Amino acid sequence: MSEPSTETQAAKTASAPPPAAHEGHGHEDHGHEAHDPIHAANPHLAHHFDTPQQQFDAGKLGIWLFLLTEVLFFAGLFCAYTVYRSMNPEVFVYAHYFLDTKLGALNTCVLLISSLTAAWAVRNAQLREQKMLMINIVVTIACACTFMCVKYVEYSHKYHDGLLPGHNFQPKEQIWELKSFRDKHPEAAEYAEKLAKLDEKKAEAPAGGAAKPSEGKAEEKAEKIERPTEEELEPLLNAGLVGPRSLDPSAHISRPRMAHVFFGIYFFMTGLHGFHVLIGIGIWIWMLVKAAKGQFGPTYFGPIDFTALYWHLVDLIWIYLFPLLYLIH
Amino acid sequence: MSDENPESKDNGPASDPEGSVKTTETTPTKAEAEALHMLAKGKPDEPTKNHRHDHGGAPHAHDDHGLAHTMPIPLLFGVLGALLVLTIATVSVTSIDLGHTGNLVVAMVIATIKAALVCTFFMHLFWDKKFHTVLFLTSVLFLILFLSMATADRGEYQHLVDEYRAQQLQVK
């Protein structure tokens, strides 16, 4: 093992610890301090690793395996998104008018900048640039908090506007009242408004006709005739609000069927991502404490590197979420 | 496969002439890492408290064979700049009408370029062991398989959904 040619091999095999550590006293920790020069020289080298390199490589492989499972974890949600969007494209067109692209873009930039500071922090740790390391971790945490604040603003906005999943989907503002929609499709906005009034009338009709069933039926028939045909819906079709498959007379034509499912997907995807950001903030604070103790240097920077890798993955997921949810054409 | 890293080629011979007697495995990596540190700072650093095998403070020839590669700062900012430019591009391209799928494809292509930039540089995959790239791409492969199978399956049964909906309309 003392020959240079075999030493790298020996370093990689966990079964061959340095002889000093082996003889006499099994694997007691105090034994390492006194007799194992490598562990004595590296206070952050765990006793089950032989060298800092081995410890770092093992950790790196571990974090990559974890990131792999994270990708597969989010894959389920992306699958739900893909299937639902291919079935109901008009729902996504409809719902994206309720999302604020500016806030989404702001959050994208904030996360990208935090990714830079995270990658920079790894460099600082490798080079033992203590001060810059602390600054970069603090900036990363600040960016993460900014991201969560913007998310809070978005979520509370959605909550107040009744844009919630399932039964709670009761939009206070209608699509034709949204500036983003009006600017883009003024004709369709007017048309949708007209249709909505029609829907309202229709909703009142059965209630009025309940006393006299025969009259009510006649009224309903009249309403059905009044309903627009497919050609008449052209402005809405052009605006992408009505899919050719969603011409259901019983549904509100001014709002696509199952629009609420979009907000289920939206809240679940961004919520799970936000949860990852929160966990990331926690880990970065932990790293800040470790960095403040001056633990990181050329032979021990694994934790910073692995946290940064996790952080980049969170960024990666947002890179896909942003266009998929906010930038629908 | 992850065990065969460039170190076995580089570290041994590189630190051979300078290293006096090698009794432990740490000598090359630790020494290299210290040298990297000194190079980056431009001046010899105070020896760490655990300096056992001192090479006399002479910087080694290699500057990127510590425990891992160190990202140069200009590259960091260059990548960030590219990412921000691509973000602006993906937002502004939404206003151009390329059709429903056209816009989606463009957005996804831009997102994938951004993701590739983050993976290659911020996540060090460019300098890292290729095994990590293979690992990560495996997960992406299975993600694509998952999505395409689900989409193909959904397409297969679309006519049933359409028929059902048409029936529902007729009932009403």
Q: Kindly report, residue by residue over A111-135, the tens digit of the pLDDT.
A: 999 999 999 999 999 999 999 999 9
Q: How many Cβ pairs closer than 8 A exist between chain A and B? A: 214
Looking at the predicted structure, is the pLDDT value of residue A285 above 70? yes
Q: Do A72 and B139 touch (CB under 8 A)?
A: yes
DSSP A27: S
The CB density around residue A305, as the number of other CB atoms within 10 Å, is: 25
**CA nearest to A322 within chain B:** B111
Q: Please give the Cα distance from A215 to A221 (Å, whole number).
A: 10
Average pLDDT, chain A: 78
Residues of B in contact with A105 (CB under 8 A): 87, 91
The CB density around residue A200, as the number of other CB atoms within 10 Å, is: 12
Beta bridge partners of A297: A300
Looking at the predicted structure, is the pLDDT value of residue A62 above 50? yes
For residues A254 and A171, the answer to whether their CB atoms sit within 8 Å is no
Which class for A168: exposed (0-12), middle (13-18), buried (19 or more C-beta within 10 A)?
Answer: exposed
Q: Please give the Cα distance from A237 to A178 (Å, whole number).
A: 18
Residue A20 confidence (pLDDT): 43
Say whether the ipTM exceeds 0.95. Answer: no
The CB density around residue A166, as the number of other CB atoms within 10 Å, is: 9
> Whole-prediction pTM value?
0.73
Q: Which of A47-56, B59-68, B87-96 has the lowest mean pLDDT?
A: B59-68
Looking at the predicted structure, is the pLDDT value of residue B44 above 60? no
Confidence of residue A204 (pLDDT cuts 50, 70, 90): low
The long-range contacts involving A87-90, CB below 8 angstroms and separated by at least 24 positions, are A87/B154, A87/B161, A88/A243, A88/A246, A88/A256, A88/A257, A88/A258, A88/A261, A89/A240, A89/A243, A89/B100, A90/A240, A90/A241, A90/A242, A90/A243, A90/A246, A90/A256
At B110-146, the pLDDT tens digits run 999 999 999 999 999 999 899 999 999 999 999 999 9
Q: Do A115 and B118 touch (CB under 8 A)?
A: yes
3-state secondary structure of A169: strand
Query: Which has the closest alpha carbon to A255: A329, A159, A163?
Result: A163
Query: Which has the closest alpha carbon to A47: A74, A78, A25?
Result: A25
At A212-266, the pLDDT tens digits run 444 444 444 444 444 555 555 666 666 666 655 555 544 555 667 777 888 899 9
Q: Please give the Cα distance from A40 to A31 (Å, whole number).
A: 10
What six digits make up the tokens of B122? 């911020």
What six digits make up the tokens of B68? 């891992």
Residue A205 confidence (pLDDT): 60
Which of B25, B83, B100 lies at the smallest CB-CB distance from A7? Answer: B25
Q: Do B91 and A101 touch (CB under 8 A)?
A: yes
Confidence of residue B36 (pLDDT cuts 50, 70, 90): low
For residues B103 and B93, the answer to whether their CB atoms sit within 8 Å is yes
Q: Please give the Cα distance from A108 to B30 (Å, whole number).
A: 39
The DSSP result for B99-163, as a single string, is -HHHHHHHHHHHHHHHHHHIIIIIT-TTTS-HHHHHHHHHHHHHHHHHHHHHHHHHHHTHHHHHH
Within 220-279 of A, beta carbons closer than 8 Å to B belong to 240, 245, 247-250
Which of B7, B87, B143 lies at the smallest CB-CB distance from A112? Answer: B87
Instruction: Please name the amino acid found at residue A266.
Output: Y
- The reply to whether A14 touches chain B by the CB within 8 Å rule is no
Q: Please give the Cα distance from A228 to A249 (Å, whole number).
A: 9
Looking at the predicted structure, is the pLDDT value of residue B159 above 70? yes
Please name the helix (run of DSSP H) or strand (run of DSSP E) that holds residue A292, with its range, or none: helix A259-292
Quote the minimal CA–CA distance from A135 to chain B in Å. Answer: 15
Q: Do A123 and B104 touch (CB under 8 A)?
A: no
